[in-house]
Amino acid sequence: MNWLLTQLQSMISALGKLFASPMFEIGNNRYSLSQLGSLVLIIIAVFWVSRGLSNWFKRGVLVRMGLDRGTREVIAAFIRYLFTLIGFLIVLQTAGVNLSSLTLIAGVVGIGLGFGLQNLASNFISGLTLLVEQPIRVGDFIEVNDLLGTVENISIRSTTVRTLDGVFVIVPNVKFVESNVVNWSYRDPRCRLHIPVGVAYGSDTLLVSEALLEAARKNQRVLSDPPPRVWFRSFGDSALVFELLVWINQPTESEPIKSSLNFQIERELRIRNVQVPFPQRDLHIRNLDEVLPLFHPNGHTGDPDSRKPLPEMAVAEPQKAAPKPPSNLALRDLLRRISYFEQCSDAELLQLIEYGYRQLFPADQVVCQEDTPGDSFYLILKGSVEIFSKRVEQYIATLNEGEFFGEMSLLLGISRSATVRTLEDTILFVIERNDLQRLLENHRGLADQIAQKLMERQQTLREMGILSEFSEETPLLKIRRRLQTLFGI
């Protein structure tokens, strides 16, 4: 037993001398295995401390500074690399390593990186480029090489992208430098979606445009500015090909938005009896007389006299379709009932439909409230409304088909001066603030009537004490100047 202990102590002593004896020489200093091991452990600790400091700085100081996620990630990465480099140099200097003596080693390592580690070196340089130039940042929604997803992390060698299916993909940084990258979140997150729609030949193109625009406006995730548009793309093999173009500010939700739009488009087309055709082919038979006997039920193959004539069937006279009620008329037909637009062509009506949309209000419903911000202009297509002031408890006017309201709040930049309530089932053509400019540019006569009517209504409201804050020197010329200032017309 004592002999075994003696042998064990001698082995430990020999190992101790082996680790303690200098075996490596760097510059003018000699180092043992134990010193090198301690140096490696200290360098690992430096990496760990640098990472901890950068995470604390990112989650503490940078968050309180109000910086966005991408900027925080970039600054934290530079802090981590800077602390690591400084700590590495301090450790080597403390260990007595002459840094000037590492020049030759660094040159040899550089040559090795250049020839043997080309991909690693290119990814390293690409990572530095991404961190400095920031063409993509953490949190951006990007598309590269048919990969669509959100950037979760950018490191020196690779970038982590989370796809729409929740799959994390590690992409080498060189892909973002050498390939075309679509950054949906760069500067402005707004992007336009293209929804193709095919309808049967013979469909009313204006009716199709109205249905597509109505579907877009009913989707709350579709932006009203820029407004949706409809393009007639082509005459397809089996259908007239349209395309609905809408703007969104949530690029990560593009696929769900497309799906909801398709559901709504199908519903709007079905309401208007617009058919979506199946792919079809026309078959023309030249020798029809020779082919018909082959399908005769009695099996005769050639004698035309053997074919029994079909019984005569009574043909009912076509009945005239009952006139549609105004609420079921196409928007084009409702607009043509208004004197401003009765002479418009189909192309002009198509532009008009793109400016606004119709909205049905039941009887005794408030359209807009007094003292609320005004952001819409209303044209009465059918029905009538009552205008009154709750503040002075006084009736102001009744407007009928062909008249308009809501222009005062938009043009004068004030809150609604009165409350508007429907007297019966009423259809209104609603035009948002951003689309009113284009409408007045193309219909100068309507602009003049709006200016004239605005002056008259302003005078009436001043006499009632509702617009007492405006002076008596607001003539028609000033209203026209207001139109020029706001809309450039």
- Of the candidate CATH numbers 3.40.630.30, 2.40.400.10, 1.10.10.60, 2.60.120.10, the domain formed by 327-487 belongs to 2.60.120.10
**φ/ψ of residue 233, rounded to 5:** -75, -55
Fold of the domain spanning 19-116: Helix Hairpins (1.10.287)
Q: Whole-prediction pTM value?
A: 0.60
138-174 pLDDT, tens digit per residue, is 888 888 888 889 998 887 778 899 988 889 999 988 8
- Of 11-25, 160-174, 301-315, 450-464, the range with the lowest mean pLDDT is 301-315
Three-state SS string over 52-92 comes to: HHHHHHHHCHHHHCCCCHHHHHHHHHHHHHHHHHHHHHHHH
Containing H/E element for 142?
Answer: strand 141-144
131, 180, 183 from 177: Cα distances, Å:
12, 8, 13
Q: Which amino acid is at 330?
A: A
- Of the candidate CATH numbers 2.30.30.60, 3.30.930.10, 1.10.10.10, 2.60.120.260, the domain formed by 135-183 belongs to 2.30.30.60
307-355 pLDDT, tens digit per residue, is 555 455 444 454 554 455 555 677 878 888 877 777 777 777 887 888 8
216-229 pLDDT, tens digit per residue, is 988 999 998 888 99
pLDDT at 471 over 50: no
pLDDT at 62 over 90: no
Q: Which amino acid is at 387?
A: I
Q: Are strands 191-199 and 168-172 parallel, antiparallel or unpaired?
A: unpaired
Of 419, 390, 424, nearest to 405 by C-alpha is: 419
Average pLDDT over residues 237-255: 91
CA distance 245 to 231: 8
Same fold, 19-116 and 191-271: no
Q: Structure tokens of 484?
A: 């020029």
What pLDDT is recorded for position 12? 66
pLDDT at 43 over 70: yes
- Cis omega (within 30 of 0) for bond into 297: no
More confident of the two residues 441 and 99: 441
Count CB-CB contacts under 10 A for residue 262: 14
More confident of the two residues 424 and 452: 424
Average pLDDT over residues 102-115: 56
CA distance 338 to 359: 16
What pLDDT is recorded for position 296? 63
More confident of the two residues 95 and 276: 276
Question: How would residue 89 be classed by pLDDT, with cut points 50, 70 and 90?
Answer: confident
What pLDDT is recorded for position 396? 87
346-400 pLDDT, tens digit per residue, is 777 887 888 888 888 999 999 988 888 888 889 898 899 999 888 878 888 899 9
What pLDDT is recorded for position 472? 43
More confident of the two residues 203 and 80: 203
Contact status, residue 382 vs residue 334, Cβ threshold 8 Å: yes
What pLDDT is recorded for position 198? 94
For the chain, which residues make up each domain, given as ranges? 19-116, 135-183, 191-271, 327-487
CA distance 410 to 92: 72
Q: Structure tokens of 242?
A: 């349209």
What percent of the chain clears pLDDT 70, i.e. is strictly above it?
73
What pLDDT is recorded for position 444? 72
The helix/strand/coil state of 358 is strand
Q: Is the dihedral of CA 89, 93, 96, 100 positive or negative?
A: positive
pLDDT at 90 over 50: yes
- Of the candidate CATH numbers 3.30.70.100, 3.30.460.10, 1.10.10.10, 3.40.50.300, the domain formed by 191-271 belongs to 3.30.70.100
What pLDDT is recorded for position 180? 86
pLDDT at 183 over 80: yes
What pLDDT is recorded for position 295? 67
Residue positions counted in the chain: 489
What pLDDT is recorded for position 315? 47
Containing H/E element for 270?
Answer: helix 254-271
Q: Which amino acid is at 85?
A: L
Average pLDDT over residues 199-209: 91
> What are the DSSP E strand ranges found in 277-436?
356-361, 366-368, 376-382, 385-389, 394-399, 404-405, 419-422, 426-432
What pLDDT is recorded for position 257? 93
Average pLDDT over residues 73-79: 73
Contact status, residue 483 vs residue 451, Cβ threshold 8 Å: yes
